[in-house]
Amino acid sequence: MMVVNTIMGAGFLVNIFPLMKVAGYLGFLGYIGAFLILLPVMLVMGKFAQQRPMSGGMYQYPKEFLSPLAGFVSGWSYFLGKSATIALLTHAFTSFFVQQNILPPIFSVLTYDIIIVTILSILNMLGVSISGKIQLVFTALKTIPFSAVLIGGILFLKNNGIPSSIPIPETLSLQSLLPLALFAFSGFEVICAIGNQIEKPEINSLPIILSAGAIVLALYTFLQTSVTFVLGGSCPEKVNALIAFSQISFGSPLLGSIIINAAYLAVLSGILSNLANNTWNFHALARDDFFPQSKILSLINKQNVPWVALTIKLILVICLLVLTQEQPALQNISVACITISYLLNALAAFVGAAQKKIIQVPLFISGIGSLFCLGILIFCYLNITKFGLSLPFIGIYLTGGVLALCRKII
């Protein structure tokens, strides 16, 4: 359930309107396509977690089976991709509460973004986490909107049935649809970060990752369909899709307010968990001496938090927010970077299987996974260019490589 909880959350909530805008009633197909594309990578990750259970697998596996350079690129890409995820979730959270006048219009939305992500980063440095009872609170908050959409959709389908005709919108395209859906599936790779903590990983890792993916796929597919059918396949640009859904399904402004506020408060858990978990990837790169001043960059405070790495992540998040606050742009940046890491892990599995270092990972599985990742990267880059962000994004991405190169030269 931890893997399901990690995958399922804010990604779906921020995706409701974009998927509806791109594909109308057919938005759920994005999740089916995303799952099929990620399935070979899931198999690879599951096998890695079974046979090589270790902390920081997204960095360690390419390093072990390809080269230290491949490990660096995978770790840096994943770190930057999760930074874009934090930027997007922070902006979604802030924008909603500004629109609801809960945050007074004293500052711009961007200023609020920077203030909130800075406060959350400081709390993280002080050792505040979403484990224990706090995790239960956020899980309960997340359950409210998901349960509401599930119940509302069942009631709607019971009373109205499935529409007899489902039009295909002119805006429908795989290039736009798949990166949006893939963003919501990000998180299944946590199995590699905690592989060494799983009981009997050689038996349990692969079933855990596949069953979690299947559960999330089923829920995402029904929930997206539920909202879309209730809203008639579309929603006005400036109207929150979940608010409109709540008003139609339950007809109670108070209930609708509870559902939508719980949904966006739950986004905080996504921000906090991404701040905490992924910071260790950068710490691992610094610890292995990839950057100048590695000793400083790998410092850990008394709360066992890599605070320098977290500070760098905060700077990256702010840079991305200044660059753009457009949801599709940040989603495509996030998916592109994370997919680079997926690609390198799939290639690592291919090489490991070819050299008989990893058993039971068929070459064609890792090969198909690599090809799928290349296709997604092409889609993401084409989408990024639409927003005029290709050069700024490449500049930010290459910053890590330049620093690593300087380290080797110096």
Report pLDDT for 203: 54
Report pLDDT for 52: 66
Report pLDDT for 339: 92
- What separation in angstroms does the CA of 403 have from each of 118, 242, 280? 24, 43, 18
CA-CA distance, 370 to 365, in Å (whole number)?
9
Burial 335-372 (b: 16+ CB within 10 A, else e): bbbbbbbbbbbbbbbbbbbeeeebeebeeebbbbbbeb
Condensed to tens digits (0 to 9), the pLDDT of residues 168-194 reads 777 778 888 888 888 887 766 665 554
pLDDT, the chain, mean: 81
Which residue is associated with the tokens 């990604």? 11
Mean of pLDDT values over 81-88: 92
- Residue 383: both structure tokens together: 């989408």
Gyration radius from the chain CA atoms? 21
pTM, full prediction? 0.88
Q: Which tops the pLDDT comparison, 123 or 45? A: 123
- Residue 195: both structure tokens together: 């592989």
Contact 243, 256 (CB under 8 A): yes
Report pLDDT for 392: 83
List the one residue out of 57, 64, 7 whose CA is nearest residue 342: 57
- Residue 196: both structure tokens together: 């060494």
Report pLDDT for 321: 94
Collapsed DSSP state (helix, strand, coil) of residue 250:
helix
Mean of pLDDT values over 78-107: 90
Condensed to tens digits (0 to 9), the pLDDT of residues 247-270 reads 888 877 777 788 888 888 888 888
DSSP-assigned letter for residue 301: -
Look at the chain and count its residues: 410
Instruction: Find out if CATH 1.20.1740.10 is the number for domain 2-409.
Output: yes
**Confidence check: pLDDT of 316 > 90:** yes
- DSSP structure string for 152-194: HHHHHHHHH-S-S-----TT--HHHHHHHHHHHHTTTTHHHHS
**Confidence check: pLDDT of 155 > 80:** yes
- Residue 314: both structure tokens together: 């905060």
Report pLDDT for 9: 63
Enumerate residues 6+ apart whose C-beta is below 8 A from 329.
383, 384, 387, 389
Contact 135, 273 (CB under 8 A): no
* Segments making up each domain of the chain, as ranges: 2-409
- Residue 257: both structure tokens together: 């307010």
